Chains A and B, each alone.
Chain A
Amino acid sequence: MTRENKITIYKIAVAAILYVLSLLMKNGLPVAVAAYIVVGYDVLYRALKKLLCGHAMDENFLMSIASVGAFCIGEVHEGIFVILFYKVGQLFEEMAVVRSRRSITALLEKMPEKVCVLRDGAEVVMEPDMVKVGDEIIIRPGERVAVDGVILDGFAAMDTASLTGESAPREYGIGDEVVSGFINLNGHVRVRATKIFEDSTAYKILELVENATLHKAKTENFITKFAAVYTPIVVALAAGIAILPPLFVGMDSFTVWLHRAFVFLVVSCPCALVISVPLGFFGGIGKASRSGILIKGSNYLEILSRVRAVAFDKTGTLTTGQFHIAKVETNGWEKDAFMQMVTTVEHNSKHALAVAICSGEDNSEKNVTEFEEISGLGIRAVYDGHAVLCGSRRFMENQEIRDLPKAVESTCVYVAVDGTYAGRILLEDTLRPEAICSVEALRKHGVQQIVLLTGDTADNAQKVEAALGLDAVYTELLPQDKVLKMGEYASKGAVAFVGDGINDAPVLASADIGIAMGAFGSDVAIETADVVLLKDSVCGVVDVLKISKQTMRIVKQNILFALTVKFLILLFGALGIAGMWAAVFADVGVSVLAILNAMRLMFTDK
């Protein structure tokens, strides 16, 4: 709690005691006035200051007029209560706002204050923003990684939860990239800084989340505009109520109507309305960031809740991007011997397909000589004295290998031995295990069209379509074709595109909502996407959709609640049923409840 909050509490307590004393005394009026001054002088002072600046219509001014007015018409108790309630409510409001601000950024704000840097062989302790690119830093168990870097020495399990929301620790070793915000759990590692503090992931993410509320949703702009009209209208009504009825009914009732006019003035405060909406969005953004989902603006949450079509990229998004062997065909070779030869040869290559072919096989025998890799085509090597060629169909044709079988559309590695076709290995991309249930969940959340946009061949895409039950599949698309296809779905509501952010930046940028998946550490993806899933899982798409719906529900509840309460109290106030106490509730009470409602978002699971 801040010092100012404590002082406010003391003031309220003193005022309350004085007020009770004044009730017990015979001539308690001076003591009651003292109570009023203790708790309300700063409200009066601010109101006066603003009046002099020419900005009258704010809470302080309205509260001052109402309470001073109450005094003037002899309603001393009410005059005191208005200010007292107002101060209590404001205190709650402030504490709640500060708390929700903090709870959202807390996870990321716990950045280390000191970093241990190696300079000329000696350890120097310095602040994170003093670290330069290329510096070597030491991270001990229990310490947080301050800047992004690459491990030079040592290995450790790291807790990545504050960034990815993933609870299981991950293992990191020499050559692996570690990112600021990770917590080193058990190892002693030496890391070379690859980025300065301000460019490092944790800082960027924090900044992104903090700035997200600057990108305002339409609902928010609407309510701000509404408030700008609402206050003058209610103030005008207050003036009308004070002046008109007494003119017709008679001047004896003047104080009664003046009293009702003061109720109107208190209710005319727009703040509860104005903050109820952005707080809801902030709650949603905060909740998302806790589970490793970055939403770059309130507006995107709003659009997400209207998403009716989701387009997925294939490789790396619905599939893992890692290949596995689907089928092996040989030409007169015994399969085991064939695979033995191929894996031994391919073992020397770092190509993605080579790695997939060798996976699970440990063939580090040295009977391969004259190994040569022909970039983009294949490998030439000598195995047990035989000339072996492994590679694409084009490579085989270039090398004048005859009698190749009919071409297939899926990814395929051909093998020839001593100039004769020996067989081929068909590979396929692995479908993500969570893809099936995610697609089902998306449908449950009101997504009507789920389509696949891929640059890959129809043959490969069809398998994914069959497994997932998609609505449509568009294959062999270039990025600009994807942008056009997305446009076709735009008529039925918002369209989201989900990609890995590496080669589909234009699509991410042009979609109503561009979602980059597993984009952890990819600056391009974080720049262009509207939503970034740090965790490499399709489930994040479902989560973010759910959060958007919950957020919109809470935002609507808040608006409806604030408006209803204000309207009812205006109505009852005009009739003389609702007093100023109720009016103060309609202002600060509603704000506090709206804040609590928004915070509920962060503490409910899924």
Chain B
Amino acid sequence: MSQESHPKGAMKEAASLLMEARVFAYDLLRQFYLREMEMKLYAFLRDEHVVRGFPFADEHELIREGLEQATNYLDSPALSMEEAYDKVHWDFTRLFIGPEAPLAPPWESAYLSEYKLLFQKQTMEVRRIYRKYEFLPANYPHEADDHLGLEMEFMFHLAAQAKAALDEGNLEQASEQLKEQALFLEEHLLKWIPKLVEDILKSAETDFHRGMAKVLQGFLEVDHQAIAELLQAVENERVIC
């Protein structure tokens, strides 16, 4: 990247826009994965074509492919909206909830712990990081902290905080929060999400969930790059200041 070619203000604006895109992406993903989507959200996504607006489609083949798959599902006239919603809802239930063993158990420890259990070392590590930023799961301590939806929500909050810090010119804070997110990606999300996505792709029955799983994986990879660039920009900015 060539910061020299941009005036300082434009650089900052670009960084802020990138951050806004990240916040939006994480916001959307947490909505999809925290719990079963309600009908009104599904209708909104379909009618307002929100998924199509997911950023970074040009940056990663998986995002492009996944968005196409998911939006095709949303737009398909083959099913009534109720039927289509119902399928997405059931797919979520069987993939992530139960009552049988979830086909894609959405917990980090279910993939990374030695015996693939819930409430393991990964859960504690994630909890420690949440606490540092004064967060805990709403149903703490009954639900495992390292659920996909919770990890997405954590990234959403941190992305939003980092953006606010940058916008306010608090570069030190922005830098610290970006580093935390990079670490969270490296030590947590990027370690287990590919395995989870593999299970979703193997077991999902709807193109919506297959598509969104691809988007999830592609986006995390793009975001890792985005954070690296943002960090560098912020560091440069700090040096310049």
B is a partner of A: no
A residues contacting B by CB (< 8 A) are none
